[in-house]
Chains A and B, each alone.
Chain A
Amino acid sequence: MRDTARALPQQPPAAQRPMPSLAPPPEIPPRPAGKLARARSLLRRCWPPALIILAGLCLWELIVQLAHVPGYLLPAPSSIAADMAADWPVLEPALLVTLQEVLLGFVIAAAAGVGLAVLLHLSPVARRAVYPLLIGSQTVPIIVLAPILVILLGYGLAPKLVVVALICFFPIVVNGIDGLRSVDPELIRMMRTLDASRWAILRRVEFPAALPAVFSGLRIAATFAAIGAVFGEWSGSNQGLGYVMLAATPNLLTARIFAAIVLLTAIALLLFGVVSLLERIFVPWAPRGDRERSEPR
């Protein structure tokens, strides 16, 4: 305590002879400018993929129309859109059910994944014991586990959440552990000379340093989550987009299947967008270039 007061006396030498001011004139760092500029950059990033999608849709429509492909084999984009509007009373509740499964399952996976990553990072013994099992668990196809989970947990929400969480869990844990382990050892040494406890090092250095890696795990997981929900629903359910697809198949309602696929894609994109937004908020120091590189164009 007294040491701080003793460190560099507040008036004497410094006041008599001011320390040379080495500060360059304060300059405001270039921040991503106003809303207009941001919208423009968003537009710049979005138009190439939008153009490709549009071209693909046009080609698809053209082929279906010109070759007179029957609608139950391959519906044209226009008829999918028409079907989506007509079937909305069926699709909307299914969408909400699947969305709930995806979001809840993802949150469970994120919490469990980050938690386990920290635990395994803190205990090398636990890491050696659990890591091979973790990898081994990934060789079991989740789709064969789903029916077993339905038998165990019933037709409700629970087995779907488990399947979604199982699928999302792995990339989060692995990226989390890698992120925690790849922290610059010099930073940890620096903290040790500054009286940091193990907990302080984890909290103030390792965890923040691992956040970018954790978020890339979360982003990968976000793209898997919708798949998990559909697997879960296929194994036993009477609601959700997966169930809608399953029910539509024997009736050759192909346009409805495609409509469900479009909605599933929208769920995945939404989750991905939310994760990217959270990354922007929680990892503001990450170099922008990296982040853009890892985003789909």
Chain B
Amino acid sequence: MPSGTDARAGPPAIELADLAKSFGGLTALAGVSLSLHHRSRTGVVGPSGCGKTTLLQVIAGLLEADSGLVRVGDATTARRRLARCALMPQRDLLLPWRTALDNAVIALENRGVSRADARQRTQPLFEQLGLAGFERARPGQLSGGMRQRVSFLRTLMAEKDVLLLDEPFGALDSITRGQLQEWLSQAMAAVPRTVLLVTHDVDEALLLCQQVVVLSPRPGRVVQVLPGGGGFRGSRREIVTSPEFASLKKQALAAIGA
């Protein structure tokens, strides 16, 4: 996409206007409006069951909204949105019959790249993610953190402008999660993409994102959009313990009502 840099100043990368979605009698999202800039990083937090995952699936084009506008780039139909977004699911969903490296290359293969070429293109990133030496390991032989990194790499290799991350570290212990947050913030700084990160961890959203959207309990709607600490300099430990971060967190927790 050569127009990538031009679009930065242009219209928002993702635009939601009065988006509603229900399943049967259950209203998951009731009127969500949001506008995300190109290459910005936005966190979405809210109580569990507030429709965060549904929101990502609608944006990704896996679900069609009941009403309202959903636009990703210039794509408004679900089918065309699907081609623009890469969604990293909550569970790593690695295919047990593929090796770690072959799991990461699957999006390239889906687009018709030969497996050998796909492996070659993925290898440098695979090593950067600290996975060197595990190319031929089966998912069952990897630790939870490694599986999550393979899953992230698989999403990245889809080479989409929009990355939708659904609680990427939700299932991990807090130490591994901290390490992966540090790692992800570096990765996202290096990879200029529009990122929407859904999480139930306020710290995570504030740490990784430039703005944080707070959703209400079901049916979900936007309560408040807060600034995040995603632009702060320093290591994760420095940021998390800084007074600026503490005041952001206070604000966010007040908005959630926790």
Chain A residues proximal to chain B, CB less than 8 Å = 2-4, 6-10, 12-14, 17, 19-24, 26, 29, 184, 186-187, 189-197, 200, 204-205, 208, 283-285
Contact = CB atoms under 8 A, between A and B. Distances in A.
B45 to A, nearest CB: 22
A195 B107 contact: yes
B218 interface: no
B248 to A, nearest CB: 24
Contacts of B154: 194
Contact of B110 (A3, A24, A197): A197
27 contacts: A4-B157, A8-B187, A10-B128, A13-B186, A13-B190, A19-B128, A19-B130, A19-B183, A19-B186, A20-B130, A20-B179, A22-B180, A24-B143, A184-B93, A189-B89, A191-B106, A193-B62, A193-B82, A194-B86, A194-B158, A195-B107, A196-B110, A200-B110, A208-B97, A283-B97, A284-B97, A285-B97
Nearest to A208: B97
Interface of B: 1-2, 57, 60-62, 82-83, 85-87, 89, 91, 93, 95-97, 106-107, 109-111, 121, 124-125, 128-134, 138, 140-141, 143, 145-146, 149, 154-159, 176, 179-180, 182-183, 186-187, 189-192
A10 B157 CA distance: 15
- Give 9 closest A-B pairs by Cβ, nearest first: A3-B159, A194-B107, A285-B96, A193-B87, A196-B110, A208-B97, A21-B130, A195-B110, A200-B110
Contacts of B62: 189, 192-193
A137 to B, nearest CB: 33
B146 A22 contact: yes
Contact of B111 (A10, A29, A195): A195
Contacts of B156: 7-8
A113 B219 CA distance: 47
Contact of B183 (A22, A284, A285): A22
Given A23-B131, A186-B93, A195-B107, 18 more contacts: A3-B1, A6-B192, A7-B191, A10-B128, A22-B143, A22-B145, A23-B134, A26-B134, A187-B93, A189-B57, A189-B62, A189-B87, A192-B62, A192-B82, A193-B86, A194-B106, A194-B107, A204-B106
A193 B145 contact: no
Nearest to A3: B159
B110 A14 contact: no
Given A187-B93, A193-B85, A14 B190 contact: yes
B182 A20 contact: yes
Nearest to B122: A4
A285 B183 CA distance: 30
Contact of A4 (B93, B121, B141, B146): B121
Nearest to A287: B140
A10 B183 contact: no
A239 B183 CA distance: 72
Nearest to A194: B107
A205 B95 contact: yes
Given A22-B145, A22-B183, A193-B87, A8 B128 contact: yes
Contacts of A283: 97
B145 to A, nearest CB: 5
B109 A22 contact: no
A13 B182 CA distance: 13
Contacts of B146: 22-23
Contacts of B183: 19-20, 22
Contacts of B187: 8, 19
Contact of A19 (B124, B129, B134, B159): B129
A14 to B, nearest CB: 5
A214 to B, nearest CB: 13
Contacts of A7: 125, 156-157, 159, 191
B138 A285 contact: yes
B197 to A, nearest CB: 16
Contact of B159 (A4, A190, A197): A4
A285 B97 CA distance: 6
A204 B93 CA distance: 13
Contacts of B132: 23
A208 B95 contact: yes
